[in-house]
Amino acid sequence: MHTGSCLCRAVRFEVAGELAPIQACHCGDCRKAQGGAFGTNIPVATANFTLLSGEAELTAYESSPGKERVFCRRCGGPVFSRLKSKPEVVRLRAGTLDEPVAAELGSHAYVASKASWWPITDDLPSHPGERPAEA
């Protein structure tokens, strides 16, 4: 079992089961939404994701057609994103998990549009655009 929260801790959740590898997304939308060089996401089956508190504090922004970024309305902390086409999965923001996090960085996506000031120095799989489904 893994637990986590938003910045103000009004939104608390738990994730059952093993965590998938962390995916670093370097697209411009993730940079803007996270305020950093990239977003870090972990796909989680909605069946394994349970909100413990703060459901009323969650609000969503449709950043592109069919994609919602869900965050705490109190502190502005990002919690997860979801695609209308994949209601069975949320993409949990890795930084919201309480330590220790039992997952490692697994890949980079949208590196063709990465921040010019952030070098990628590891040997993990890097994709110029979206990460292939089988990767």
Q: State in Å, rounded, how far the first CA of the chain is from the last one.
A: 25
* Helix and strand counts by DSSP (H, E) for the chain: 1, 10
Under the banding of pLDDT at 50, 70 and 90, the label for residue 133 is low
| Euclidean distance between CA atoms 118 and 65, whole angstroms | 28
User: pTM for the full model?
Assistant: 0.91
Amino acid at 27: C
- The pLDDT tens digits for 71-116 are 999 999 999 999 999 999 999 999 999 999 999 999 999 999 999 9
Q: Are 22 and 41 in contact (CB under 8 A)?
A: yes
Structural domains in the chain, CATH included, are 2-113 (2.170.150.70)
